């Protein structure tokens, strides 16, 4: 594939909107995050702090039998003194580096290890969290007790006659895309190469092919899961149908420990990408023209509109980037209505790729192999802390709201120590909106876009407070128009009434499923689905 300017390539990404964090994704150590039972990050610092769980009375006087647990595993049990503990315990976001200190980590080698670990945690009353890729924004895939790490359950096998693939719950996105593409098929998913398939899919999964192919969870045909009773189940539309419903958008960590997915796959298409940038002086016009076009354009076209500020270089950017499923020759006509309403961009590029190359480009790994991309992400250098939160967009913003967005994007120039800050509007609709609002647990089928407010910084010792305040202030500023809804995969500890915010009218049904499959609230963390009445 042709090389594309790195800054442009990174801006193509959906998901965590700032170019810099997506870049960080490609060069950070392997994350581990996790969340868990019994930790509450404080809204100001985001530091996980232990809290008692009503359903977990505490460890037995003799203490947990860690040696006994280790003896039952095919994989490893890592204690704080074990080799590899520090790397494995680490969260994706370095803001949690000093606080993620589980007593033990089960590095599961098999689904049976996961079941053993869940039963152990239940019997020994040990708080725990399940971790796949470790990218939970608030660091909710760690625990002061036990982390059940499924990242070795990462196999990807394609069943060509059935047009399906089986994906282990710990597979990283870049490896999923590469393994599928090698068999001539693909799925829609997120941008960051090291995000885990489990966290992404359980919360929905938005991405650059979403308007064409739907959310990642829409492709799921069955889920393998260990529930709170220690049972390993395969759930699908005819087996544990309510649980299957909840696992498609209801968020990770509330209903059990997923060990794998079976998903429908698509033959890989040509994917064209585009990048258009304008001087920030026309930022408001860019947002207006973009929203008038992006929500109704052909559903094979995904786009993101970003307003980003970088005080280090004293630059602000207004840009529209995206993907088109098809050759680049057809893309220009699709872009014409947008371009007709705006001055000539200061930067323009359009390229065609294979599916595999497009997903690498989106990951910030243009021209590299998936192995190299992930190896870069495993090198523990230049990890970059970030703060983020989100809103849900259900229609065009009026000019006053757009002006507010421009003002707050500019405000990032005044946040001491910020590396890059701003907002990304990522289009939805198309195949995402074609699924009924109650068909899966995902709460925002009527949305036309997500809005994500982001800030990155480089000083890992800096307090996150002012960056959290920036992104949350941005969200509040647009709340008069966007309301309180948010995307669960961009979880934010400060969202108080999180159930309705993440899942809308699907929340009561999620609570009913919770009661049926986890009546003692074994799987719990600060924003886990609550039992009815709780």
Ligand X SMILES: Cc1cc2nc3c(=O)[nH]c(=O)nc-3n(C[C@H](O)[C@H](O)[C@H](O)COP(=O)(O)OP(=O)(O)OC[C@H]3O[C@@H](n4cnc5c(N)ncnc54)[C@H](O)[C@@H]3O)c2cc1C
Residues that bind ligand X (CB under 6 A): 14-16, 21-22, 25, 33-35, 92, 129-137, 140-141, 150, 169, 190-192, 195-196, 198-200, 202-203, 205-207, 252-253, 257-258, 489, 525
In whole angstroms, how close is the CB of 24 to ligand X at the nearest point? 7
In whole angstroms, how close is the CB of 529 to ligand X at the nearest point? 11
> Residue 262 or residue 342: which is nearer to ligand X going by CB?
262
Residue 245 structure tokens: 């419903």
In whole angstroms, how close is the CB of 22 to ligand X at the nearest point? 6
Q: Where are the alpha helices (DSSP H) in 221-295?
A: 241-246, 283-294
Q: Which residue do the tokens 């089986």 mark?
A: 166
Nearest to 495 by CA among 511, 509, 507: 507
> Residue 33 or residue 287: which is nearer to ligand X going by CB?
33
Start-to-end C-alpha separation, the chain: 53
In whole angstroms, how close is the CB of 157 to ligand X at the nearest point? 18
141 beta partners: none
In whole angstroms, how close is the CB of 487 to ligand X at the nearest point? 7
How far is it, in rounded angstroms, from Cα 180 to Cα 39?
36
Q: Which residue do the tokens 């009434």 mark?
A: 497
Q: Which residue do the tokens 């149908």 mark?
A: 241
How far is it, in rounded angstroms, from Cα 276 to Cα 336?
12
In whole angstroms, how close is the CB of 400 to ligand X at the nearest point? 29
> Residue 92 or residue 457: which is nearer to ligand X going by CB?
92
> Residue 249 or residue 345: which is nearer to ligand X going by CB?
249
- Say if CB 220 and CB 201 are below 8 A apart: yes
**60 contact partners, CB below 8 Å, separation of at least 6:** 124, 125
In whole angstroms, how close is the CB of 16 to ligand X at the nearest point? 4
Rg (CA), the chain: 22
> Residue 25 or residue 220: which is nearer to ligand X going by CB?
25
Q: Where are the alpha helices (DSSP H) in 317-368?
A: 328-340, 355-362
CA 18 from centre of chain: 14
Residue 428 structure tokens: 């939805």
146 beta partners: 104, 128
In whole angstroms, how close is the CB of 210 to ligand X at the nearest point? 8
> Residue 191 or residue 511: which is nearer to ligand X going by CB?
191
- Say if CB 31 and CB 369 are below 8 A apart: no
- Say if CB 478 and CB 401 are below 8 A apart: yes
How far is it, in rounded angstroms, from Cα 328 to Cα 47?
46
In whole angstroms, how close is the CB of 153 to ligand X at the nearest point? 8
């Amino acid at each position: 594939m042709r090389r594309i300017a790195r800054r442009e390539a990174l801006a193509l990404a959906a998901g965590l909107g700032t170019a810099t964090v997506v870049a960080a994704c490609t060069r950070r150590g392997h994350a581990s995050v996790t969340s868990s039972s019994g930790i509450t990050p404080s809204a100001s610092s985001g530091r996980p702090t232990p809290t008692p769980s009503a359903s977990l009375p505490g460890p037995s006087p003799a203490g947990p039998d860690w040696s006994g647990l280790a003896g039952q595993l095919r994989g490893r049990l890592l204690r704080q003194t074990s080799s590899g503990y520090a790397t494995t315990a680490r969260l994706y976001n370095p803001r949690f580096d000093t606080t993620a200190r589980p007593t033990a980590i089960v590095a599961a080698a098999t689904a049976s290890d996961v079941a053993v670990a869940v039963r152990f945690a239940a019997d020994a009353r040990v708080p725990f969290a399940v971790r796949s890729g470790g990218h939970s924004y608030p660091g909710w895939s760690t625990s002061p007790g036990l982390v059940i790490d499924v990242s070795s359950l990462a196999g990807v096998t394609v069943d060509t006659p059935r047009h399906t693939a089986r994906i282990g719950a710990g597979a990283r996105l870049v490896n999923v895309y590469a393994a599928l593409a090698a068999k001539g098929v693909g799925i829609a998913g997120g941008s960051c190469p090291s995000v885990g398939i489990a966290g992404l899919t359980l919360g929905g999964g938005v991405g650059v092919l979403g308007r064409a192919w739907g959310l990642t969870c829409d492709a799921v045909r069955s889920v393998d899961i260990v529930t709170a009773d220690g049972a390993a189940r395969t759930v699908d539309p005819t087996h544990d149908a309510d649980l299957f419903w909840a696992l498609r958008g209801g968020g990770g960590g509330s209903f059990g420990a997923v060990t794998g997915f079976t998903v429908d796959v698509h033959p890989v298409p040509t994917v064209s990408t585009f990048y258009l940038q304008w001087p920030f002086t026309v930022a408001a016009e860019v947002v207006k023209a973009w929203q008038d076009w992006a929500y109704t354009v052909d559903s094979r076209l995904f786009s993101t509109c970003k307003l980003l500020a970088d005080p280090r270089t004293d630059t602000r950017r207004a840009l529209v980037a995206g993907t088109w499923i098809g050759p680049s020759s057809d893309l220009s006509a699709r872009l014409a209505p947008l371009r007709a309403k705006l001055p000539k961009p200061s930067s323009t590029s359009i390229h065609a790729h294979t599916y595999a190359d497009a997903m690498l480009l989106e990951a910030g790994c243009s021209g590299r192999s998936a192995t190299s991309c992930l190896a870069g992400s495993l090198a523990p250098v230049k990890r970059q802390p970030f703060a983020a939160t989100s809103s849900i967009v259900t229609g065009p913003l009026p000019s006053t709201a757009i002006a507010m967005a421009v003002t707050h994007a500019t405000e990032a120039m005044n946040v001491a120590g910020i590396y890059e800050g701003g907002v990304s509007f990522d289009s939805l609709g198309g195949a995402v909106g074609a699924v009924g609002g109650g068909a899966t647990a995902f709460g925002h089928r009527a949305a036309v876009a997500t809005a994500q407010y982001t800030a990155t910084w480089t000083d890992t010792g800096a307090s996150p407070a002012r960056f959290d305040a920036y992104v949350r202030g941005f969200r509040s500023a647009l709340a008069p128009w966007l309301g309180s809804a948010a995307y669960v995969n961009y979880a934010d500890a400060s969202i108080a009434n999180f159930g309705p915010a993440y899942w809308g009218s699907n929340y009561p049904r999620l609570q009913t499923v919770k009661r049926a499959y986890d009546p003692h609230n074994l799987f719990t963390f600060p924003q886990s689905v609550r039992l009815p009445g709780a």
